[in-house]
Chain A
Amino acid sequence: MNRNQDECEALERIFRDLSKHTNRQLAEIWESLGDKEISQHPAFQTDVRIAECTIALLSVSDGERKEKTAYTQILAWIFQHGYEQAPIRSFLNHLYDAGQFPFPPHYKFSEIEAEAGHVLSDRSGKQIDVWITGLARKNIKDVPIKWLIVVEVKVDTLESLSQLGCYEKEATKWATASEKAGDKYIDPIFVCLTRAGKAAKWGKQNWWPITFEQICGLIWDSIKDREDAPSFCLAGYFITAVLAKVCEWPIPLPRSIVPSHLNRYSLLSFFGKSRCSHEE
């Protein structure tokens, strides 16, 4: 019997225990819930959210067909959930230093929402890669000022003629709605994220060019001393994958750490399966 055969058998035993153990853990959560829905339990929700994100991240390393979708989803996730706003603050500071964003680092930012694949309201079905909104104020008592950053990501496709124009129209609609509502706001900011920091060709607005390497650097700087943060390893995956796959840095993607075929639904399905077997 060869070594791997023994190891397969040993792993098989562990995996059976894993299944039992997961069921037991879920059973405990279930009992603590009473009549509530299990999916409402914060512990379970956290796991599922983390699972979704981890898997989406790993799918970047998998050469998924729509790599860009995975990158933008993860980027949006990191901007929205990254440890104590560190990654998004780092990004905003970069834009401030570049003269693109009017609020300096000591401002307070709240209600930050980063959405990947923001669908245009014109029913064209087109989507903006990352749509980031938030509020800024100098002091807590100040009236908050709304801001919007539109990020267009280009990984391996060319910019089409009318694409950026549509996005600019959508941003104008946001500004008009803010005005009608009587909110204070600043003009939308446009960012074009590419491999080489290429300037946008067809947009009427000023699309601030930024490279993937810059984004990775900004994220890394903001989290590198926070290894305990839940977003730390997720951001690490993102940076590794982007540098290796988009920037083509000669980084060997470690097979042993990043299973190259991991599917985003795999772990969710595992949790689902465990839940079902408990319910039976």
Chain B
Amino acid sequence: MKNNESGVLLGKELSFYAKYPQEMDIAYVAQVDTHYRKLFSFLDKKQFQEMEKMVANVGDAAAEQARELTDEIVAGLLILKGIKAENINRTNYWEAGLRIRKTATSANINFECRVRIETVGEQLVAGIWIWIKGSKSADLMKVLKRSIKKLPEQPRNFDGSSVLVAAIDLREAVEQHRSKQSIVDELTAPLFQLDKDQWHQLILMAD
């Protein structure tokens, strides 16, 4: 157990988000969808507007902290040896990633490693995903399992072409006072277990 670690902890707002991910999501959707608005019928109009502001403030701050965390995880992956990778342009604050090329001059980039923070059931999960265009997840897993003994349970919205390589329940991490660095280390560790041949095999699959 990694209780009470020293080091920088997750921000307050992201920690709050990790505690109430579904409720935050519902509060967001209720702002634009009358069906969800009904769930908050115990609040009067003014109270609801106040809640909207609070959700926006806390949510925005949490999003900033999520961006910092995903950046740090990607930076942790960039030091993988022998991999020609570049950052994927961000489209939102909760996801970042790397595109991996076979060689520095390869034109096609069909291999990606993504870091995503998302609500899964009642949890806010930070996960690392590998995606190889055209490859089936079962083939991908075969290669990964040679080094990574225990892959996380694949989620229900598993799309058949990506594999979840590592995942951490952020609520649990907050309760254990885990530092950001220890979260980064745990998430990136499985990819450091892959040897050069296995990386090569994955990259070949992407051709």
Instruction: Report yes or no: A7 in contact with B21, Cβ–Cβ below 8 A.
Output: no
Knowing A11-B20, A65-B131 are in contact, say whether A261-B58 is a contact too (CB < 8 A). Answer: no
Instruction: Report yes or no: B25 in contact with A8, Cβ–Cβ below 8 A.
Output: no
Instruction: Report yes or no: A256 in contact with B33, Cβ–Cβ below 8 A.
Output: no
Instruction: Report yes or no: A266 in contact with B39, Cβ–Cβ below 8 A.
Output: no
- Whole-angstrom distance from the CB of B20 to the nearest CB of chain A? 5
Instruction: Report yes or no: B28 in contact with A258, Cβ–Cβ below 8 A.
Output: yes
Within 8 A of B (CB), among A53-100: 54, 58, 61-66, 69
- Decide if B31 is an interface residue (CB 8 Å cutoff): yes
Bound-state CA distance A64–B114 (Å) is 10
Binding stretch for chain B, among A13-21, A178-186, A218-226: A13-21
Binding stretch for chain A, among B92-100, B142-150, B182-190, B196-204: B92-100
Which of A8, A15, A58 has the most chain B CB within a 10 Å cutoff? A8
Interface mask (A143-187 → B, CB under 8 Å = 1, otherwise 0): 000000000000001000000000000000000000000000000
- Decide if A273 is an interface residue (CB 8 Å cutoff): yes
Knowing A4-B58, A21-B41 are in contact, say whether A269-B22 is a contact too (CB < 8 A). Answer: yes
Knowing A4-B57, A46-B35, A63-B95 are in contact, say whether A262-B40 is a contact too (CB < 8 A). Answer: no
Instruction: Report yes or no: B119 in contact with A261, Cβ–Cβ below 8 A.
Output: yes
- Whole-angstrom distance from the CB of B30 to the nearest CB of chain A? 9
- Decide if A204 is an interface residue (CB 8 Å cutoff): no
Chain B residues within an 8 Å CB radius of A260: 63, 92-95
- Decide if B23 is an interface residue (CB 8 Å cutoff): yes
Instruction: Report yes or no: B92 in contact with A61, Cβ–Cβ below 8 A.
Output: yes
Knowing A15-B20, A269-B122 are in contact, say whether A257-B42 is a contact too (CB < 8 A). Answer: no
Instruction: Report yes or no: A259 in contact with B91, Cβ–Cβ below 8 A.
Output: no
Which of B19, B35, B41 has the most chain A CB within a 10 Å cutoff? B35
Chain A residues within an 8 Å CB radius of B51: 10-11, 14
- Decide if B32 is an interface residue (CB 8 Å cutoff): yes
Interface mask (B2-33 → A, CB under 8 Å = 1, otherwise 0): 00000000001100100111111111110111
Which of B32, B58, B118, B133 lies in contact with A257, CB distance below 8 A? Answer: B32
Instruction: Report yes or no: A11 in contact with B55, Cβ–Cβ below 8 A.
Output: yes
Knowing A14-B43, A260-B63, A263-B118 are in contact, say whether A3-B57 is a contact too (CB < 8 A). Answer: yes
Instruction: Report yes or no: A261 in contact with B94, Cβ–Cβ below 8 A.
Output: yes
Within 8 A of B (CB), among A202-258: 230, 233, 236, 245, 253, 255-258
CB<8 Å pairs between A and B, sample of 6:
A11-B58, A18-B23, A18-B40, A50-B35, A261-B117, A265-B157
Residues of A within 8 A of B (CB): 3-5, 7-8, 10-12, 14-15, 17-19, 21-22, 25, 46-47, 50, 54, 58, 61-66, 69, 157, 230, 233, 236, 245, 253, 255-267, 269-270, 273
Residues of B within 8 A of A (CB): 12-13, 16, 19-29, 31-33, 35-36, 39-43, 50-51, 54-61, 63, 66, 91-95, 114, 116-122, 124, 129, 131, 133, 156-157, 159, 161-162
